[in-house]
Chains A and B, each alone.
Chain A
Amino acid sequence: MIMKILVVDDEVDVQPLFTQRFRREIKNGEFDFSFALSGEEALDYLERNRSEVILILSDINMPGMTGIELLSRIRHAYEKPPPVVMMITAYGDDENRQQAMQNGANEFLTKPLDFTLLKDKLKTFIH
């Protein structure tokens, strides 16, 4: 089964990084990555591809809509089946973590991302 993942980050270079890091998984048809550069763009994408995406990885600190805002919008709009949302931030403090968890995040990861750990986490969510 292919797992559709949406990565939301305002840094463009996150895109080649993910496709290369998950090169083998993509090749084997395990993961399928889509990218959005802002919270607004992410909501747009979700609107168009309603129940396809099952996991969202979002940066918190973005200009405009923040990751937290995006998370709360997703939690209010998409009830069945709820996608898994993992929040990523450069500021790994308690306040950020609490906010993310209160708004219904499934995971809270800090930058720099440990891709081996992320891979394991993603695989556990498949099963």
Chain B
Amino acid sequence: MFLASFLLVSRLKKSIKLSPLSLKWASLMNVALGASAVLFVVSKAYFDNGLAYICGSALLLGIIVFAERERDFASMLPFLKAHYPLIGVGFIAGLVKQADSDFYDEYDKYFILPMIAAFIWVLAKWANTRKQHEEFRIITAQNALLDKQVAERTAELTKQKNELEQTVALLQTTQQQLVQSEKLASLGELTAGIAHEIQNPLNFVNNFSEVSMELVGEMEIELANGDTEEAIAIANDIRQNLEKIIHHGKRADGIVKGMLQHSRASNGVKENTNINTLADEYFRLAYHGLRAKDKSFNSELITSFDDKLPTVDVVPQDIGRVLLNLFTNAFYAVDQKQKSGVPGYKPEVTLSTRVYRTWIAIKVRDNGNGVPDAIKDKIMQPFFTTKPTGQGTGLGLSLSYDIIAKGHGGSIEVDTKEGEYSEFTVKIPIN
């Protein structure tokens, strides 16, 4: 019983040994240890066994009750409570021995055995708490290590995040540059077509002006001859010629304006636009642009415009770029097929428009080689191209998709059969 008290106190002392609490409790612990020893000696010498049991149990109970109240030993609570059976058995054995010493001696093993059992229980509990404390210390150490690691990782992640932000900013700048260079590349494709398209109306302006000058001379002769009827006929011709001069002058004007609009950075302002006119203009530009670059290239151009197509609010230069891209792709497709030498092949690119209830559709169809199923899903991805290196940026369709989907709330759909045709449909909602 005294041994248990002694062990308990030394255990408590040990539990706080390394903490600041040790100073606070050191003297009290020593007193308790001393008291236990003194009581043990005193009770051995002066009391018989019964009184010694009661005395020892009381000492133990006192220490336990005291320790339980102190918050500093809260973690030891299960261990402290484990002493109650021992205290109980100690009191009962002591009381019984005091009351009837003979009875006790006769049945002493019924008292000694539970006492030993209770003592072993305390020891077991002690070993257990020791183990728990050990685990707790390991966990605490692990926690500290984890905290350190988390801090390191956090610092690392913050660094990576900053680096990524810088990369994103760089990529955004590069993207803008790419968009601009794609625009310039498509302008390059256009220049030859533009030159041709301007040359034609300019020729007409020059020719009709010259012929009108001649006609004025002839009219003067007819008037001098007194043939007013012929003179009036000539005057009619001259008027018609002047109308043609105006028409072709405006045609050239429109082309130059379109070219300026195409090269200008998109201001994103939507204008009420006649899609039939816009599409037709770019269709011709794309065709003549390619023709000027590659003399062997040729294709039938078929147009089918819906007369009832309403004007829609779009950014004209953006839609122009999308259409130009689709036309260039279509011409490229038919040209590839023709160059592969399919017998009896006649290249055809068809541009058609149609109005539906809430949207308009612009269809660009070619009878080229179509898009294989394997890459159908990829053609709208940035940088994807089937053209040889250096011939395509792979940005055309992805930029087109952005313009139509993000800029205009529309969509681009692809219908294609490998070896037979491709049809791209641009859908734009009616305002």
Binding site for B on A (CB under 8 A): 11, 13, 16-17, 20-21, 23-24, 61, 63-64, 66, 90-91, 93, 95-96, 99, 111-113, 115
Contacts and interface: CB of A to CB of B under 8 A. Distances in A.
Nearest to B206: A112
B200 A17 contact: no
Interface residues of B, number: 27
A13 B295 contact: no
B203 interface: yes
A90 to B, nearest CB: 6
A66 B298 contact: yes
B215 interface: yes
18 contacts: A11-B200, A13-B248, A17-B208, A17-B211, A20-B215, A20-B237, A21-B207, A21-B211, A23-B215, A61-B288, A61-B291, A63-B299, A64-B298, A64-B301, A96-B295, A99-B295, A112-B199, A115-B207
A99 B207 CA distance: 27
Contacts of A64: 298, 300-301
Contacts of A23: 215, 218
Q: A interface, by DSSP: helix, strand, loop or mixed?
A: loop
Contacts of B237: 16, 20
Contacts of B111: none
B84 interface: no
A17 B211 CA distance: 8
Contacts, number: 57
Most buried by A among B206, B241, B298, B301: B298
B206 to A, nearest CB: 6
Given A64-B298, A64-B301, A95-B295, 4 more contacts: A13-B248, A63-B300, A91-B196, A91-B295
Interface string B211-224: 10001001000000
Nearest to B291: A61
B218 A90 contact: no
Contacts of B218: 23-24
Nearest to A11: B200
